[in-house]
Amino acid sequence: MGFLLDAPRCAQRPHGGAAASWGLRFGASAAQGWRAHMEDAHCAWLALPGLPPGWAFFAVLDGHGGSRAALFGARHLPGHVGMNKARGGGGAALEGVACWNGAGPKYGEGRA
């Protein structure tokens, strides 16, 4: 069937945590579904350099045909957001994504 499986893989990969002092709990779960390989990624940071205390960063990244970009984003996008917030950016998340998108080939292929 090419890039699709004959039947979906429904096994869940859960991830969760808590920041008890804030009363924050989070959870995420990923399933491969019909795709031949898992293409999505997510990240959760309860503390991030550059973000004020009590702020957290969560993201879900859809691989759209491959896992490399999603895995790269899960590893590196939080740092871009934190850097932009530390520089006083009010729209740190949007600025972080724009900065990351503009980086292009600088990061090279296959580094995720």
**Per-residue pLDDT tens digits for 27-55:** 998 888 888 888 888 889 888 887 788 88
pTM for the structure as a whole: 0.65
Of the chain, the percentage scoring pLDDT greater than 70 comes to 71
pLDDT 10s digits, 54-78: 888 888 888 776 788 888 888 888 8
Is-contact 73 66, C-beta < 8 A?
Answer: no
Q: Where are the domains of the chain?
A: 4-107
Domain 4-107 maps to which CATH number in 3.60.40.10, 3.40.309.10, 3.40.50.2300, 3.30.360.10?
3.60.40.10
Q: 8-17, 22-31, 46-55: lowest mean pLDDT where?
A: 46-55
Tell me how far CA of residue 9 lies from CA of 33, 35, 58, 60, 94, in angstroms. Answer: 5, 8, 25, 19, 34
pLDDT band at 110 (very low <50, low <70, confident <90, very high): very low
Q: 20-24, 76-80, 105-109: lowest mean pLDDT where?
A: 105-109
